[in-house]
Amino acid sequence: MTTAIDIADLTLHHPGAEGGSPALSGITLTVQPGESVALLGASGAGKTTLLALCDGRLRGWRGQVSVLDHPLSPDKPPALSARVDTGFIFQEFALVERSTVERNVLNGRLGRMPGLAAFFGHHSAADRAVAYKAMSEAGIADLAHRRVDSLSGGQRQRVAIARCLAQEPKLILADEPVSNLDPARADDILGLITGAARARGVTAIFSSHQPDLAMRYADRVIGLRDGKLQFDRTAAEVSPQDIARIYHEAGSDAPLPPQKPGLRVVT
């Protein structure tokens, strides 16, 4: 693999918004294999849009985008063979609530299974072994036979992470994976995602509204505002002025980011 993600001069207008400001404008960046990258920015900055586009779910953009060395097309979805190596962790979990933890995690194996076996849900012993390893890593093996709708928010997110890990992806995309969790659980979950990625040598890109937490776990931080890239630095290089540029100055209703010790935001 040459690069995990390679984007050049990417611009996207949401449908019906051609005359307005683009959701993404002139984005150029490259993510190397094995990096952990945080996307920071206020609501509407373009974080979710960029992740969804890299997941192959958006059409009508302009520019060049390559994911895991597979060029994406703005006109049609990528082939399943190209998508199976990209795992996505959703903010709202996207689980089958009335099904068990085990069944939800096994769903992560579907893209790796032969067509008929996937259609009928006939998982092999090897699939089950991968799923149980993922559940153990996520700390939910003891919940395997519980229904998802009986779990807490933090437990649900661990199920979503285990499902992603069971997919055995080379790239993990996570959209605000800790926004619904309290600070302690948020720290645990973000540590689980980035730790699992590093242990596997795979790339992780996650969006966040929490600069202090993001910089604790990311190698690199990309700041977005109004669909435009504002900065791209190592976590250690991000300054209070960088944070102010993407949050405080984005409007009077912009959220005040939590402060990292020693990182006082200047207004």
pLDDT, mean of each 10-residue run, the chain (267 residues): 95 75 95 98 96 97 97 94 93 94 95 73 90 97 97 95 97 94 92 97 96 96 97 96 85 42 34
Cβ atoms 219, 36 nearer than 8 A: yes
pLDDT per residue as tens digits for the range 119-176: 667 789 999 999 999 999 999 999 999 999 999 999 999 999 999 999 999 999 999 9
Residue with tokens 């995690």: 105
Choose among 60, 69, 71: nearest CA to 17: 60
User: In 180-235, where do the E strands start and end?
Assistant: 203-208, 220-225, 228-234
**How many CA atoms lie within 13 Å of 185's alpha carbon, on the beta-carbon side?**
15
pTM for this predicted structure: 0.89
Distances (CA, A) of 216 to 50, 62, 160, 195, 231: 22, 33, 22, 12, 18
pLDDT of residue 254: 41
User: Burial, 33: exposed, middle or buried (Cβ in 10 Å; 0-12, 13-18, 19+)?
Assistant: middle
